[in-house]
């Protein structure tokens, strides 16, 4: 799994002109899923994101998590995070999982995030043409790949 985590002061997802998710202070998580992903990736990533200390404390040091902040989260599936760009100029998405594999893993990840945070997590609509609006706070953007745990 690959995730792009953005600390936001606000974010929303709109599908066909209707806002399907909206948060204020918290995290926007773009999530890419590949066939090799499993429950261990889900659990590790949900815990890592929930506890990631990327919010400022009273001294202006990034020392607080979204849990500490009681912030919200939106998780949006994004297959393009697994784009292969080595050859030519057209990205290949062969590593990205097909919907029959990706949807159940995406749903399990959202459930895991909800368990970690103790609250509902907003989502996009899997496979839809989504408009994602955000105000990146900082800006703070972190990329995590469960196959390359750094």
H helices within 52-91, ranges in order? Answer: 66-69
Among 91, 90, 102, which Cα is nearest to 35's?
Answer: 102
Domain contains 150: no
Evaluate whether residue 114 is within a structural domain. Answer: yes
pLDDT of residue 149: 82
For residue 74, give both structure tokens: 């939106």
Specify if 88 maps to a domain.
yes
- DSSP state, 106? H
pTM for the structure as a whole: 0.95
Q: Tell me how crowded residue 136 is: count the other CB atoms within 10 A of its CB.
A: 14
Number of domains in the chain: 1
Annotated catalytic sites, by residue?
78-80
Q: Is 119 a domain residue? A: yes
Q: Residues 17-61: pLDDT tens digits? A: 999 999 999 999 999 999 999 999 999 999 999 999 999 999 999
Check if the beta carbon of residue 122 is closer than 8 Å to that of residue 110. no
* pLDDT tens digit sequence for 100-131: 999 999 999 999 999 999 999 999 999 899 99
Q: Hunting for tokens 């972190």 — which residue is that?
A: 142
Enclosing domain of residue 16: 2-145
* Nearest partner of 135 among 6, 7, 8, judged by Cα: 8
Tell me the per-residue pLDDT of 135-149, one tens digit each, with 9 for 90 and over: 999 999 999 999 998
CATH number of the domain enclosing 109: 3.50.80.10
């Amino acid at each position: 799994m690959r995730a792009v985590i953005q600390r936001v002061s606000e974010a929303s997802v709109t599908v066909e002109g209707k806002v399907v998710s909206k948060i204020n202070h918290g995290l926007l998580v773009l999530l890419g899923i590949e066939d090799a992903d499993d429950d261990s990736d889900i659990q590790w990533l949900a815990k890592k994101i929930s506890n990631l200390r990327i919010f400022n404390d009273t001294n202006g040091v990034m020392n607080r998590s979204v849990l500490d902040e009681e912030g919200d989260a939106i998780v949006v599936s994004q297959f393009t995070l697994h784009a292969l760009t080595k050859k030519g100029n057209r990205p290949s998405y062969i590593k990205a999982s097909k919907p029959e594999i990706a949807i159940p893993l995406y749903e399990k990840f959202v459930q895991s995030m909800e368990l970690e945070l103790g609250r509902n997590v907003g989502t996009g609509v899997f496979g839809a043409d989504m408009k994602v609006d955000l105000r990146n706070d900082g800006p703070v953007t972190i990329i995590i790949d469960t196959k390359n745990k750094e």
